Amino acid sequence: MRQRYEPLWNAVATTLTVTGAKPAAHEASAR
């Protein structure tokens, strides 16, 4: 079950990194 969510967590980690680096870019992507 853990392996199943690993890609998801990788995406979450990437999103957090991008959000931390460029919050404005993330907001534009979210809208």
6 pLDDT higher than 80: yes
Average pLDDT, the chain: 74
End-to-end CA distance of the chain: 31
Mean pLDDT of 1-20: 82
Domain count, the chain: 1
DSSP string, the chain: -HHHHHHHHHHHHHHHHHHHH-HHHHHHHH-
pTM of the entire predicted model: 0.43
Is the pLDDT reported for residue 7 higher than 60?
yes
pLDDT at 26 over 60: no
State the residue range of the domain holding 10.
1-31
